[in-house]
Amino acid sequence: MPVSDYELVQSWRQVLGLCNLQAGQSVTLLTSSATNEQTLRCAILAVQEKGAFANRLDLQPSNGGTSLSRDPLAYVGKTPLTGNRAAVEMLKASDLVLDLMTLLFSAEQHEILEAGGRILLVVEPPEILVRMTPTEEDRTKVLTASARLRAAKTMTVTSSAGTDATFALGQYPILEEYGFVDKPGRWDHWPSGFLATWANEGTAQGKIILAPGDILLPQKSYITSPITCHLENGYVKAIEGGFEAEHLRDYMESFNDPEVFAISHIGWGLQNRAHWAVMGFYDGEASIGMDPRACAGNFLWSTGPNNEAGGERDTACHIDIPMRNCTVKIDDETVVQDGKLTGDYA
């Protein structure tokens, strides 16, 4: 069911307050042809209500003839900002950038953040934004788990389906997604509520068995039969199973880049207001699937780029794979047991 402008403006008010937006500051709303008009309209009203300047930068789409999907995360790295210095400089001069287009994994996003800019990605449908409007409690929950992950040296993931994989930790930073940007140089995503890091280069080992009901993104599909991914020295070395395994393998191979098979970020969901079943109610182009990415107790792992963590892989293919019913341990502590958050993380 759609939400009213009143409800969405209320959510924007809360988010902009958490972002510490002040009167007189400059906000650039980065948009494209796919930007949700209600999200944009309500964002401008909320920014103006704060006494800040609302500027819209609308850019033309890119990658349309290259990507195999209309999902903005189906082909990453190159964006309408690539080589567009005037646009980049405008964003660097802004106190806050509301990304209603999707810059994720782009060099220009890193440049803006390194200059002290703040970027909040907001591309999910309005009703999802309202349901998962971020709170101070979301930040506390994510940062509490982050402190433990930051100190960990290993992550181990198992499941009754046969998953048994290990990852060495410590080489890369922590990705803390709680839904708002409250300090210079910070990127976040509304809606969210999960924690991730990147395995040390070459250390991911074992096997991950995707069970029926696990999800592939950007395909936005619930798999119906097991897929076995063999991990060796930081890469997916083999993908075995039926048609869905073949489909996944064919898609990744279409990029003609061996780096698409590298292990990217790994972590788990913490958001109790996210729901596994929601993706099935949406057209494939309406949502990018933040519900399963953030769903409390999932194990979320991915393949492809690590440049957002300071690594050198900028491959265009990025697969996110949220899984249910896994047990996740960091060092000897269990943070997720059979798909449920444990202890202080629940």
Q: Are 190 and 118 in contact (CB under 8 A)?
A: no
pLDDT at 309 over 70: yes
What local confidence, expressed as pLDDT, does residue 238 receive? 98
Find where tokens 């309408």 sit: 80
Instruction: Provide the pLDDT for residue 132.
Output: 98
- The mean per-residue pLDDT over the stretch 93-120 comes to 92
Q: Do 166 and 153 touch, CB atoms closer than 8 A?
A: no
Average pLDDT along the chain: 94
The pLDDT tens digits of the residues spanning 186-242 come to 999 999 999 999 999 999 999 999 999 999 999 999 999 999 999 999 999 999 999
Taking residues 254-281, what's their average pLDDT? Answer: 96
Residue 258, amino acid: P
Where are the extended beta strands (E) located within the chain?
A: 26-31, 53-58, 96-99, 119-121, 154-159, 164-168, 174-177, 187-189, 194-198, 205-210, 215-216, 221-222, 227-232, 235-241, 263-269, 299-303, 319-323, 326-330, 333-337, 340-341
Sole residue written with tokens 């996944």: 248
Please, what is the Cα angle at 236 between 159 and 207, to 5 degrees?
25
**Residue 176: pLDDT band by 50, 70, 90 thresholds?**
very high
pTM, entire model = 0.94
**The two three-digit tokens of residue 313, written as one number:** 């892989």
Q: Which two tokens stand for residue 143?
A: 């940062």
pLDDT at 63: 57
Residue 344 has pLDDT above 90, yes or no: no
Task: Tell me if residue 13 falls in helix, strand or coil.
Answer: helix
Cα Rg for the chain, rounded, in angstroms? 19
Query: What are the domain boundaries of the chain?
Result: 5-131, 136-345
* Three-state secondary-structure class, residue 18: helix
User: Does position 61 have pLDDT exceeding 80, yes or no?
Assistant: no
Burial classification of residue 339, based on how many CB atoms lie within 10 Å of its CB (0-12 exposed, 13-18 middle, 19 or more buried): buried
Predicted local confidence at residue 17, as pLDDT: 98
Three-state SS for 248?
A: helix
Rounded to whole angstroms, the Cα distance separating 256 from 253 reads 6
144 phi/psi in degrees, rounded to 5: -65, -45
State the alpha helices, DSSP H only, in the chain: 5-18, 37-49, 85-92, 107-114, 126-131, 136-151, 243-253, 290-294
Distance CA 266, CA 278 (A): 22
Q: Class for domain 5-131, per CATH? A: alpha beta
The predicted pLDDT at position 106 comes to 79
Pairing of the two strands 326-330 and 215-216: unpaired
